[in-house]
Amino acid sequence: MLCLVVWQHKSLARQLLRSATSVGANYRAACRAQSRPEFAAKLSIVVEEADESLYWLELIQESKLVKSELLTGIIKEANELVAIMLASRKTAKTVGRLANRKSTIENRQLREPRSGA
């Protein structure tokens, strides 16, 4: 039902389809990243596209092209996905910085156990 109503407004439908499918394609690319910075960069694209998809859904809802109750759950889930991707990107960036920090704890070498002890 939702697809049929939105498809009557092809420009909105195309924009939503483009941004929504881009989320999946870019998430797949992020999962295949060769480094943590590349992963974080690709997640940034995922966040942008997911947020754009959310924008189109909200625009469709506000223009009353579709009954609001049909979009409420989808919009809620889209917001949750954006939040998850933002948190993942933040973690990816933070972990990378923390891993490069020098420890203030002195490294102790393992000592050989004494013979006869």
List pLDDT tens digits, range 90-103: 999 887 565 555 54
Question: Could you count the other beta carbons within 10 Å of the beta carbon of residue 104?
Answer: 5
Instruction: Quote the CA–CA distance of 50 and 20 in Å, as a whole number.
Output: 7
Structural domain spans, the chain? 9-94
**Does pLDDT of 106 surpass 60?**
no
Greater confidence, 111 or 66?
A: 66
Residue with tokens 């998430």: 27
Instruction: Quote the CA–CA distance of 31 and 27 in Å, as a whole number.
Output: 6
List pLDDT tens digits, range 15-57: 999 999 999 999 999 999 999 999 999 999 999 999 999 999 9
List pLDDT tens digits, range 59-77: 999 999 889 999 999 999 9
Question: Going by C-beta distance under 8 Å and a sequence separation of 6 or more, which residues neighbour residue 15?
Answer: 52, 56
9-94 is a CATH 1.20.1440.60 domain: yes
Quick one: which of 117, 50, 40 has its CA closest to 77? 50
Residues across the chain: 117
- The pLDDT value given to residue 20: 95
